[in-house]
Each structure stands twice: as structure tokens, then as C-alpha cells.
Amino acid sequence: MTARLGLGTYRCLDVAEAALMAASRGADWVDTAPNYENGQAETSLALALAAYPDMRVSTKVGFLPPSARRLGMRAGALSAEDAEHGHCLAPDYIAWQVARSKRMLGRVPDLVFLHNPEHGCHEGEIADRLYAAFLALEEACSQHAIGAYGVATWCGFSSGLFDVSTLLELATKAGGPDHHLRAIQLPVSLVHLAPVARALDGQGPLADALDAGLEVFASAPLHGGEIPGMVTPELSELINPGRTPAETALAVVASAPGVKRVLLSTGNPEHWMRAAEAVGRPSLSPDVLRRVVDVLGT
């Protein structure tokens, strides 16, 4: 498969332990956010990143960890209203949080995602919000505070609030033809099959990102651990004979056109190695993927 397994830290109870486990077993990417692990995820990752300097890291800006609310307000980067709201993409806050993430991680993040920019945003507001945020992120790139940026969304694409072409247009407006928009992150799983179905027809965010040269990070590939219990032995045998339900589900995600990273949250070494093996096998064919969509729907 062309996709690689990366560590997602949203559901990790011990981020430091999970990162060291994954890195020692060949993981080359870890994804986090300031609000994960009760606001301690970035600090927890610093040890693993120092021990494995070749492992790349992405973090996010948007949702506010409780510890940042008071500090952000004191620094003048965060309004009381945004602190109460719990989510902010104002340029001043982005600059402040990016600098804070760099300190917490102990190094420049390779990628910073806007975290659910659709949160609390209406259709008529989203373009202005994204453009202002992209300007701030382009400035951070010019100052070498981050390597590049992207958009991590749960429902921005599926709701039609924005698409890849819109993101590219706004990034070009903010940073010119050499802008630093490099990736998107969205849920792809047996529960979230619509992006796969559309990609098989050359449409939707996965296909558009592939055409534009953007990396696609697939989040929640096991839907919070629920999917293995939803996959019957008969369905697993139909899709991926001889494999477990979890391996089958991961194979579908990793085989989706355009997906480059499959983010799995686990601190269990056995689960990690089985997942890495599943993602590393040859891709399922488009015919098999279409059969999955036909059976499960979107």
C-alpha cells in the first residue's frame, strides 16, 4: 500500500509511552493537539521526539486546552469570549499557540493543522476565517516556527462547508503560488465510507487532494475502537480473506485513493505491529473497495 501507519494520540491514555512504543517499532509520524491528554500531550511527546529525532510530528491549533485559556488571555492573544467558547482561530491566538507548541514539543512542528475550523462557524463566515488563519500560518512558516500547515476536519468536507479547491484558493491568496498548505486530515473508516466511494469515482476530498499533491491523513480508522465489533466474520472474509476485523478495516482505509497516513491511537505494542502489518500489505483493488461500499453503503 502507498499509505503508512502513523500514531494518533487523541485516545492515548499515556502519550509518552505510546509514542516511545510506536517510534521503537518504526513509526515515522505522530499526530497530536494541545488539548489532547488533558492538555499535556505535546509536553508528553517531547521525550520521544528527542529520542527519535527523525520522527515527524504534526500538532493542531483551534481547541483550547484549559491550561492555555488563562495564559492566552494574560498574553493578550485570546479574548474572554473565545476562552469561554473553547475554540479559537484568531490570528493572534494562532501565533501564540504555535510558539507555545514549539516550546512544549521541544522542536519546530513539521505540520500544524487548523483543528475543526468548521466549529461554531456558519457557511458565510468560513472563507474569511480560513483566509485569516492561513495568513497567520504563512507568517509562522516564514518565521520557521512551523514547517507547513493543513486542515484537520471532522465534517467540513462532508457538510459541504468547504472543499479542497476552496482551501487551495485561499492558501494561494494568503501565501501566493508557493504557499505552505500541505495536508488535510479527515475521518475515513468503514463508518465514514463516503470519501472512499467518491474517490473511486475521481471526486471528493481524497481525489482532489491526490490531484493537488496534498497529503491525506485518515483519522479514526477504527472509529474509536468500535469497528472491529461491527465487522462480521462473513464481511471480513468477503473483503480481506484470512484477516481479523481490525486488519480488514485498516486495509480498506489504507487502500483508499489518496490516503497517505493512517492515524491509529494505541499504546499496545501487539495492536501496533498488527496494524502496521495490515497497512503494509498490497492495496485492496478498486473492485474490492467498490464491493465494500455496495455492502455497507455510505
3-state secondary structure of 174: helix
Cut 0.75: pTM above it: yes
Residue 49 belongs to domain with CATH number: 3.20.20.100
For residues 124 and 109, give the distance between their C-alpha atoms in angstroms, rounded to a whole number. Answer: 31
pLDDT at residue 68 in the model:
87
Q: Are 40 and 15 in contact (CB under 8 A)?
A: yes
Q: Are 179 and 172 in contact (CB under 8 A)?
A: yes
pLDDT at residue 1 in the model:
58
pLDDT at residue 225 in the model:
80
Cell of 65: 486546552
For residues 15 and 17, give the distance between their C-alpha atoms in angstroms, rounded to a whole number. Answer: 6
Q: Which domain holds residue 287?
A: 4-296
Paired with 29 in beta bridges are: 56
Cα 64 to its chain centre, rounded Å, is 17
- Please report, rounded to a whole number, the percentage of residues in the chain having pLDDT higher than 70: 100
DSSP 220-254: -TTTTTTHHHHS-HHHHHHHSTT--HHHHHHHHHH
Domains in the chain: how many in total?
1
Only one residue has cell 491509529, namely 264
Q: Over the chain, what is the mean pLDDT?
A: 95
pLDDT at residue 88 in the model:
96
pLDDT at residue 230 in the model:
77
Alpha-helix residue ranges (DSSP H) falling in the chain: 15-24, 41-51, 66-74, 80-85, 91-105, 123-142, 164-175, 194-200, 204-212, 227-230, 233-239, 245-255, 269-280, 286-296
Q: Which residues of the chain have pLDDT under 50?
A: none
Is the Cα torsion angle 108, 16, 59, 93 positive or negative in sign? negative
Cα 123 to its chain centre, rounded Å, is 22
pLDDT at residue 67 in the model:
83
Instruction: Characterize 49-81 residue by residue with b for buried, 16 or more Cβ atoms within 10 angstroms of its Cβ, and e for exposed.
Output: beebeebbbbbbbbbbbeebbeebeeeebbeee
Say if residue 294 is exposed, middle or buried (CB neighbours under 10 Å; 0-12, 13-18, 19+).
Answer: exposed
Cell of 66: 484549559
For residues 137 and 131, give the distance between their C-alpha atoms in angstroms, rounded to a whole number. Answer: 10
